[in-house]
Each structure stands twice: as structure tokens, then as C-alpha cells.
Amino acid sequence: VRKLRVAAAQVGRIDRGAPRADIIARLVALLEQAAAQRVKLAVFPETTFSTFFPRYFIEDDAELSSYFEKEPAEGIAHCESVKAFFDRAKELGVDVAIGYGEETADGQRFNSASYVDSSGRTAGKYRKIHLPGTVEPFSKEPGVTNQLEKRYFTPGDLGFNAFRAPSLKQACGGAKSPIVGQLICNDRRWAEGWRVLGLQGVEIVCIGYNTTAWAPQLWGVDPASMSRDEAYADAMFHHKLVCQSNAYTNSTFLITSARCGVDDGVHPLISGSMIVDPEGHIVAENQTEDDELVVADIDLDACQQGKTKTFAFAKHRRVEMYGRICSQ
Ligand code: CDT
């Protein structure tokens, strides 16, 4: 038995221009709730330190630049603009996985996530590989929901790397450190990233997301035949479908955390924060569309059924038939 208490730290409405200090105060409140419940790992959303800015066509580079953290070589926990959050996590002894806009020293911009352990060390770093949306906006009108990730971000260049989290070894019985992996939002819809993590024996996948609930230009919904409520339900259905099925086929726990609510009162994002077990069952999920901690006790040994039987890769995979997966 390798038991661990984990949480999805869901974050509700954040408007364009919301002060950074207010956002950090909300995130710290979630960390404090986590520590009070003896949670060892809390997973936060994608681009957590701001509103989901790729929905806006932003011409002012000063504004755009304000959404990117200038991450130093020592890691995001040492970045002045967000240090207060990581310092508090360290004081409270909580590991965090969190998404943010990253700007490198040479000016490249990525949609990134870091796993920072309770000593303040970056144990794992990921840059989003599947960037949805367009380079050009659907519309420049204010109030329109664009998806300009292909405009603002460079596709991730770090690969899908699982890593050990020795900080959690003690908490889960002292036998073996958990094997952790990260994906970001749209990546969860692509089986390839999951499988690359699965092949490394991943036991906990951490995923933050911002999923627009109503965007007829983005999703296959026909606005004439689907109400906003039906579109929300459909987006939630697909979110759960890919999360549960990919956790199952890779025999891993999943902790997935939403940025949700209706930003600026006009841009709805789905909730759906949850913890999924390696058999694909939801073991805990959100109850609100606001800031909320979704907590579960998980036993990492539950990954063994799938890893040694149903999806024992060495026994059952037929790689000689999979060549097309790695060609254009
Ligand atoms: N942030 C992000 O990746 N959102 C996407 C929207 C889909 S656009 C077709 C998602 O997959 O949830």
C-alpha cells in the first residue's frame, strides 16, 4: 500500500487585468486549505497566474509580456513575480504542479508547467506541445473568444518526461517515490503524450486546463442546433471521456484542475476538476465553479493491476505494427 493525499486546486473566475496580488492571495488560500487537510500534492490549472489571455487579440506588447514569467535558470519558484506563492507552498510543505506563461532569457514564450516540490526544487518541467487554435484571430472585436495559442506560444520542446518525486516517498510509505508526469490542457486529448508517459511507468499525471465552454469557431458545435447549456455539457463530456480513458489505458492516477467560471462575465470556461484512478473511475470531483480544493486519498499500488495485467506493455504491445504513429 502506497497511500497519498492529493488535491486538484480548482481556480474560478479571473478577469482580464485582475491584480496579480489578488490572484496570488487566492492561490495561497488554496495552499493553506491543502495543508490544513494534510494534502501532499496540489495540482493547479494552466496559466494560473492570470486570466486565460490567449482568448484575447492583444496588440500591446506590454500587456502581453505581463502574462509571462521571466523564469530564471534556478526555476519558477525563484521568479520574483510569483515567488510569494512558492515560498508559502514550501513553508506549508505542499508539492505543487502549476501552469504559467514562461518567457526564456532569449525571449521564447512557452505555455509551461512546473512540478515544484516542498523543498522548493523543480522536480519536473513541461512545455505544452499540442497548441490549439489559430495564429490569426477569428475577430478583433472585444468580447469575442479567440484561441491564439499558436500566435503567442512556441510549441513545447522538452518532450513528455516522467520523473520521480522523492519529496512524496515518505508520505506514501517510504518504499518507492511516485513517478509523475505533466501535460497541459489540449494535450489531454492526444493519446500520444499519455502513452509516452505510460511507457515510463507514470503513476500520477498532473494536468491543468482552460477549456472554453462556448466557442462555435473552435469546437464542432453548431450554434443553430445546440444551446449554450448543451455546448457546456458536450465540452464536459469530452473532457471526462479523454481523462478517464487515457488514465485507464496507461494505468495511472490523474489529477486534473480547471480554471473555470465566466471570465469578464462573458467568457465561460468549464469546471470538471477531478481525481481519476488507474481503472478510469472518478474518485473525487468539483462541486462548484469557484476556487475549490478537490481532495482524495489515493493508493499508488492500484496502478499495478493495469501495469502488470490489462496493459502490461511488454507482454501485449505490438510495436512492429505502430510505425505510422511516428510518421507524418
Ligand atoms: N487551453 C486549451 O488548450 N484549451 C483547449 C480548447 C480547445 S480549442 C479547439 C482544450 O483542449 O481544452
pLDDT of residue 142: 83
Q: Report CA(32)–ligand 1 centroid distance (Å).
A: 29
Tens of pLDDT, residue by residue over 137-194, are 999 998 889 999 999 999 999 999 999 999 999 999 988 999 999 999 999 999 999 9
Whether the pLDDT of residue 228 is over 90: the answer is no
pLDDT of residue 225: 82
Q: Whose alpha carbon is nearest atom 9 of ligand 1?
A: 218
Adjacent-strand bridge partners of 101:
68, 111
Of 12-16, 41-45, 212-216, the one with minimum mean pLDDT is 212-216
Percent of the chain at pLDDT exceeding 90: 91
Percent of the chain at pLDDT exceeding 70: 99
Q: Which cell is 285 given? A: 470531483
Which of the four pLDDT bands, split at 50, 70 and 90, describes residue 215?
Answer: confident
Q: Whose alpha carbon is nearest atom 1 of ligand 1?
A: 210
142: domain range? 3-326
Mean pLDDT to the nearest integer, 15-44? 98
Tens of pLDDT, residue by residue over 87-139, are 999 999 999 999 999 999 999 999 999 999 999 999 999 999 999 999 999 99
204, 95 Cβ separation under 8 angstroms? no
H or E element, residue 62: helix 61-66
Average pLDDT of the chain is 96
For this structure, is 326 an active site residue? Answer: no
Q: Whole-angstrom Cα distance, residue 233 to residue 117?
A: 35
Q: Whole-angstrom Cα distance, residue 91 to residue 116?
A: 13
Which of the four pLDDT bands, split at 50, 70 and 90, describes residue 226?
Answer: confident
Q: How many domains does the chain have?
A: 1
Tens of pLDDT, residue by residue over 234-284, are 999 999 999 999 999 999 999 999 999 999 999 999 999 999 999 999 999
- Atom of ligand 1 lying closest to residue 189 CA: 11
Say if ligand 1 is within 6 A of residue 188 CB.
no
Alpha carbons within 13 angstroms on the beta-carbon side of residue 252 total: 29
Q: Whole-angstrom Cα distance, residue 181 to residue 165?
A: 10
Catalytic-role residue among 79, 172, 185, 260: 185
Domain of 244: which CATH number? 3.60.110.10
Q: Whose alpha carbon is nearest atom 3 of ligand 1?
A: 186
Mean pLDDT to the nearest integer, 222-242? 89
pLDDT of residue 214: 83
Q: Whole-angstrom Cα distance, residue 85 to residue 1?
A: 32
Which of the four pLDDT bands, split at 50, 70 and 90, describes residue 306?
Answer: very high
